[in-house]
Amino acid sequence: MRGDLVEAVRNTYEENRKMKRWKKVTFIIIGILIFLVVAMFIFVSVFLNRTLPQVSGEVQLASLQDTVILTRDEQGVPHIEAENSHDLFMAQGYAQAQDRLFQMELAKRQASGTLSEVVGEATIDQDKYFRTLGLRRAAEDSIADYSEETLESLKAFAEGVNGYMEQAINENRLPIEFKLMGVNPEPWEPVDSLTIGKFMAFDLGGHWERQAFNYFAIHEFPKDQAEEIMPTYPKAAPSILNEEEVDVASSFKGAVLPEEFNGSNNWVVDGNLTESGMPLLADDPHLGLATPSIWYQMHLNSPEYNVSGVIFAGVPGVILGHNQDVSWGVTNVGPDVQQLYLEKRNPEDESEFLYEDQWEEAKVIDEPIAVKGEDRIDYTVMETRHGPIISEFAKKSGEESVMSLRWTALDSTTELEAVLEINRASNWEEFEKGLEKFLAPAQNFVFASSDGTIAYKANGRIPIYEEAEDALLPLRGWESEDEWKGYIPFEELPTTVNPDKGFVATANNKIVTDNYPYHISHNWAQPYRYQRIVKLIEATDSHTIESMKDIQMDIMNLQAKEFLPFFLGQLNDSDDQVVKLMQDWNYEDDKELPQPLIFHDWMANIQERIFSEKINKEILKLFHGAGQTTDELLRMEMGGEASIWIKEAGGITEVVQSAFNQTINDHKKQLGNDPRSWQWGDYHAVEFTHPLSSIGFLERFYNPGDPTPVSGSRVTVQAAGFNKDGIVNHGAPWRFVSDLSTIDQAEHVVGPGQSGHFRSEWYHDQLEDWVNGGYHTTSLSEFEGEELILSP
């Protein structure tokens, strides 16, 4: 017994000793792991901090002629002071590359159709589309039309980009995105900047998609039904379109379509309507909302320039803003500058197409596509006299007839020449002269100068159509009578200087009366934003810079004001609590209210009921302006005229009632049974998504925090368009207000910030201001911050 007890004690002792030893080993292992994790975190943190741009001290740059001072102010806006234009643009390229090099690389590759080289097979179709369009080919053609002075500016800009790039590679300080993708940036070339300019013309869209949809509609539906969803029914439709049948859905499947709601607001008021007695100008162009911002704010100062505003990353100069004498801003005109042509292909030679009873040889262009991790793809683009064949991306369609695209932006154009001229303008005459070279995209320019002048011009190369209806549908590529008849002469473009009413405003609305001698567009934005801006301007004759900001942040929903009473009158068996809630609405798309959430979803469900049963999803993608068409059909019903589309969907009462029921039931499931507790911001929120955040673990770094609730909508002056998940992805990345009584400075906000580096203090520092209507003041003469000396 005693022996057993001794053995038991001995065993217990051994077990305790082993346990202590394992605990010690475990602690050591845990300690090592913690050390490794901490060390790795420190290493990664140090590495990431190394990739932040140097913003103080001194850097030497080959090719600089004199010393340049680059001061980044509190918002990260670079103020560049140079002794000559060469150094100014070289430093501009350097500064942009410091903050936005990865964005510049992606933009260049997207526009050039070379994303697959660094991304892989996922972007092959996108590359094929942009190779087919030929934005880079158009940019290359444009170089010959630029002055030597502007070409030197482009070259200096490229030298600055490459100077930073070389330093970053040599010092292992490239942005982390290049490491994640396993690539180095390619040397920057002047044509890269022009290609990005062409891409912006693409992003602001055209109307070929609507032409393709119209073509589908008149083949698919009876004449009167097709007529309802087009501005006017084309008289020549049967003779033009019955020649050949083209499957529109398959022909354009996979085409990259620009954002449907790209627009903008701008306005200018003269001194008779302002407290200071001098003009005020406001501009907020509407584009995609992402990180980094599409806009980059800068101040450029040399003996030839003193200009402040924004530019697209990768492009020299300042496209929107002010100098010491003038301010300007733009909105999209949206003219019919794209034309689809039906082409008759020679059945015996696929590279020949009919024109005036003769077979013409098309231009065949080899566009091989490099694909990361895959074999190179041999790809061929074909261009007729009208432009690239875009149906099915230049493949054989299986029919004799295919579609080509004529588009002003695919011609040689000189926008950068215009930008640098207007940067130096001191009055309206000089500014307008510079606009002669701004050809694509067509823009509504508003202007104000320190001499008190205000002005407006719808500027750009706008085709002349013999009949306005011709712009609605594809035309015959084989008939010379269907060609454009030139372009609206520059001196006959819509223009006004110092109008009697004391202001000019545009919001992508119709800009001409019916007696204007030329056709401009069939696809104007609904006038909600424009009407609201005009009403607020006319409400006082003592505007200030603060009242301009208030207008930019206005959230009155005139669409709801027009339609909601009619909708409520159609409801028979509905939730009385919700009906009372909607009756009490002030029509503001406030993020804290439930009514905007109900109304916008209700409108979307109404539109779906009208069209989705008759039009498949692929075709609906081409139906740009579907929301405007829906409004027109509803107006017919409100005016006592029955709509064929609404009748076939069950009638107006059924459409409105069923859409309402679906809306309320869906939100009760998601947000609870008490509609009073719902908020627009529960669904409608902004996060400025980074392109790499879709890679799971990167989201927490690139999209810090949860999406932020935001007021406004697509139809309010404070533009805030949203996707199907409610993420606000479209609006005004930059807002700008200029008081000509203090022309030395202006008010800006760039959402979400200046920098593309998520460790930078300027990454998302303007997000809250963007949401809440905050601005910062940027001056041409008074600024301070960290100084970086660039020396030869």
Could you give the percent of the chain with pLDDT greater than 70? 89
Confidence of residue 695 (pLDDT cuts 50, 70, 90): confident
**Closest C-alpha among 196, 311, 314, 99 to residue 748:** 311
pLDDT at 397 over 50: no
Please say whether the beta carbons of 473 and 339 come within 8 A: no
Which pLDDT score is estimated for 7? Answer: 59
Same domain, yes or no: 661 and 636 = yes
Rounded Cα distance, 543 and 320, in Å:
22
Same domain, yes or no: 608 and 712 = yes
pLDDT at 40 over 50: no
Confidence of residue 79 (pLDDT cuts 50, 70, 90): very high
Q: What average pLDDT does range 238-243 have in this prediction?
A: 37
Same domain, yes or no: 611 and 681 = yes
Rounded Cα distance, 576 and 660, in Å:
12
Residue 233 lies in a domain: no
Same domain, yes or no: 503 and 588 = no
Same domain, yes or no: 618 and 703 = yes
Same domain, yes or no: 548 and 562 = no
Which pLDDT score is estimated for 441? Answer: 96
Confidence of residue 745 (pLDDT cuts 50, 70, 90): very high
Token pair of 665 as six digits: 């039931």
Which pLDDT score is estimated for 39? Answer: 40
Which pLDDT score is estimated for 618? Answer: 86
pLDDT at 394 over 60: no
Residue 436 lies in a domain: yes
Which pLDDT score is estimated for 263? Answer: 76
Could you give the percent of the chain with pLDDT greater than 90? 81
Residue 93 lies in a domain: no
pLDDT at 704 over 90: no
Q: Which of 536, 552, 568 is the last residue of a domain?
A: 552
Same domain, yes or no: 529 and 670 = no
Q: What average pLDDT does range 41-47 have in this prediction?
A: 46
What domain range includes position 21?
A: 1-50
Same domain, yes or no: 421 and 458 = yes
Of 5-14, 439-448, 520-529, the poorest mean pLDDT is in 5-14
Average pLDDT, the chain: 90
Residue 194 lies in a domain: no
Same domain, yes or no: 616 and 715 = yes
What is the CA angle 612-678-549, rounded to 5?
90
Token pair of 782 as six digits: 């008074």
Token pair of 502 as six digits: 């004391």
Same domain, yes or no: 569 and 524 = no
Q: Which of 552, 568, 600 is the last residue of a domain?
A: 552
- Residue that has been written with the tokens 């030329």 in this structure: 518
- Residue that has been written with the tokens 């005016």 in this structure: 639
CATH (domain of 565)? 1.10.1400
Of 60-69, 262-271, 320-329, 449-458, the poorest mean pLDDT is in 262-271
Q: What average pLDDT does range 510-535 have in this prediction?
A: 93
Which pLDDT score is estimated for 398? Answer: 41
Please say whether the beta carbons of 702 and 693 come within 8 A: yes
Confidence of residue 252 (pLDDT cuts 50, 70, 90): low
Residue 244 lies in a domain: no
Q: What average pLDDT does range 236-254 have in this prediction?
A: 50
Same domain, yes or no: 530 and 610 = no
Rounded Cα distance, 322 and 328, in Å:
6
- 596-646 confidence digits (pLDDT tens): 999 999 999 999 999 999 999 888 888 988 999 999 999 999 999 999 999
- Between the alpha carbon of residue 669 and those of residues 264, 579, 593, 665, 672, the distances in Å are 36, 18, 18, 6, 6
**DSSP for residue 271:** G
Q: Which of 722, 754, 779 is the last residue of a domain?
A: 722
Residue 476 lies in a domain: no
Of 9-18, 472-481, 639-648, 721-730, the poorest mean pLDDT is in 9-18
Helices and strands of the chain, counted as H and E runs? 26, 28
Coil, helix or strand at residue 61? coil
pLDDT at 779 over 50: yes
Query: Per the structure, how many domains does the chain have?
Result: 3
pLDDT at 241 over 50: no
**Closest C-alpha among 778, 755, 779 to residue 765:** 755
Partners of 266 in beta bridges: 283, 506
Residue 398 lies in a domain: no
pLDDT at 237 over 80: no
Does residue 549 or residue 239 have the better pLDDT? 549
Confidence of residue 234 (pLDDT cuts 50, 70, 90): very low
Residue 496 lies in a domain: yes
CATH (domain of 502)? 3.60.20.10
Token pair of 219 as six digits: 């083949």
Which pLDDT score is estimated for 253? Answer: 62
Which pLDDT score is estimated for 251? Answer: 62
Confidence of residue 243 (pLDDT cuts 50, 70, 90): very low
pLDDT at 5 over 60: no
Which pLDDT score is estimated for 576? Answer: 84
pLDDT at 205 over 90: no
Same domain, yes or no: 621 and 699 = yes
Query: What is the bridge-based pairing of β-strands 720-722 and 728-731?
Result: antiparallel
pLDDT at 238 over 50: no
Confidence of residue 395 (pLDDT cuts 50, 70, 90): very low
- Alpha helices (H) along 612-651: 617-620, 626-638, 644-648
- 548-586 confidence digits (pLDDT tens): 999 999 999 999 999 999 999 999 877 789 999 999 999
Does residue 346 or residue 693 have the better pLDDT? 346
Rounded Cα distance, 98 and 607, in Å:
46
Q: What average pLDDT does range 374-387 have in this prediction?
A: 96
pLDDT at 502 over 90: yes
